[in-house]
Structure 1
Amino acid sequence: MNPKELIEFLRLVEPLKCNTRHNWTSSGRQESVAEHTWRLAVLAMLMEPEFTDLDMNKVLRMCLIHDWGEAVTGDIPAFVKTGEDEEVEEEAINFLLSKLPKSASDRFAPLFKEMSLCQSKEAKLVKSLDKIETVIQHNEAGTSTWLPLEYDLNLTYGNEICDSFPETKELRNQVREDSKKLMEEEKEKPGSPLDKHL
């Protein structure tokens, strides 16, 4: 890509820095899509030694691009996302890919397809870590930022895909325990409605 093409494409994905997610940070502000993407990639990088049989370079690239569509659509929380929303996001990804030179588009389009099918070990790992990072962020933000439905979601979100690997299952179990601890602390507060969640 020439400098002009690079700058133009960076402009198209810059909204990922601005578009906020449903999650909040520990400092009390909503996190951006880009912040989630960055920490997902860090999580994958830190776990690289545990997945020597996987193409971790591919995993990192998938982490970095997995939410590109949200530069166009914004974030839609998983618990309200519909099939129609997924189609709109796929159109957004295709739009962004069309703005790249063919050589670049040809590198990234197969990664999106692989993530969509979620059959390869690499795609399953990205999806597992994506779910886990989301719940970690929920925990870090604290129960004051949770919707009522998230008390159950924090215990179940991503459980099935996280069972794909012993390492992600163990990590998901620890994150679930962290959620339970937060709920126990919340339960101790006067007037807490959390008995049914624990």
Structure 2
Amino acid sequence: MSEKILNILKFLNEIEKLKSVTRHSWTSSGRQESVPEHSWRMAVFAMVLEKEFPEINMQRVMELSIVHDFGEIYDGDIPAFKPDPNKLEREEKAIKKLVQSLPAETQKKIIDLWKEYNECKTPESKLVKALDKLETLIQHNSVDIPTWAKIEKEFNLTYGKEFMNFHSFIKEFRKIVDKQTSEKIKNE
């Protein structure tokens, strides 16, 4: 039993490193957002939308939200406007390294969640993919434009739109976020 606990502690100590991985986005307090802060707000976002999606397994959505960026632990976050063709390969390798101290069943669960998110075929992964993009845009809209890269004024109005069409509520939510983005840019 104690070896199992030590291995879980090893994983928890390793995943703690993700707290120091920053994203391109900034917080309203003027510092760079961390990867776990983004994932946390995605989970909160999902929680408050639960009644809009009675057909979706929200526990699965929470798990996907938590795991979706685990692969950024060693190489960091890559801004969406700087696509990297090797991103998924590197992230999968990172996740396998990250979970290696966990029991095989738990390793498989985490890796499968990460793959499910990236394949974006299940209703839960489609919702999480949309929330991932929306949360990023909402975060950008929460801070001053000087924290944005120049490309983002145009990029943010198209970013992730292909993931919004699976549900009418998400499409409407995106329209409102886009309106806020446009107003923010206009009033700069």
TM-score, shorter chain, exceeding 0.5: yes
SS in 2 for 1:141: coil
Q: CA deviation at 1:99?
A: 2.7
SS in 2 for 1:36: helix
TM-score (norm 1): 0.89
Please tell me the root mean square deviation across aligned C-alpha atoms, in Å: 1.3
Which of 78, 81, 84 in structure 1 is aligned with 2:80? 78
Q: CA deviation at 1:107?
A: 2.3
State the match for 2:160 in structure 1.
Answer: 158
Contact 1:16 1:33 in 2 (8 A): yes
Identical-pair percentage: 44
Equivalent pairs, count: 186
* Structure having the higher Rg: 1
Q: Relative contact order (C-alpha < 8 Å, sep 6+): which is higher?
A: 2
Q: CA deviation at 1:156?
A: 0.8
Q: Is there any run of 5+ residues in structure 2 with no aligned partner, and where? A: none
SS in 2 for 1:157: coil
Q: Deviations over 1:123-173 (max 9, x none)?
A: 111000000000000010121111111001111111110121111111111
Contact 1:14 1:71 in 2 (8 A): no
Which of 93, 99, 111 in structure 1 is aligned with 2:95? 93
Contact 1:128 1:158 in 2 (8 A): yes
1:63 & 1:151 partners in 2: Cα distance?
26
TM-score (norm 2): 0.94
Q: Deviations over 1:86-137 (max 9, x none)?
A: 2111111122232321121132222122112111111111000000000000
State the match for 2:138 in structure 1.
Answer: 136
Q: CA deviation at 1:4?
A: 1.6
State the match for 1:50 in structure 2.
Answer: 52
Which of 54, 57, 61 in structure 2 is aligned with 1:59? 61
2:102 & 2:155 partners in 1: Cα distance?
37
1:120 & 1:170 partners in 2: Cα distance?
21
Q: Deviations over 1:43-80 (max 9, x none)?
A: 01111111111111101100011111111221111111
State the match for 2:180 in structure 1.
Answer: 178
Contact 2:70 2:95 in 1 (8 A): yes
- 1:156 is matched by which residue type in structure 2? T
Q: Is there any run of 5+ residues in structure 1 with no aligned partner, and where? A: 187-198
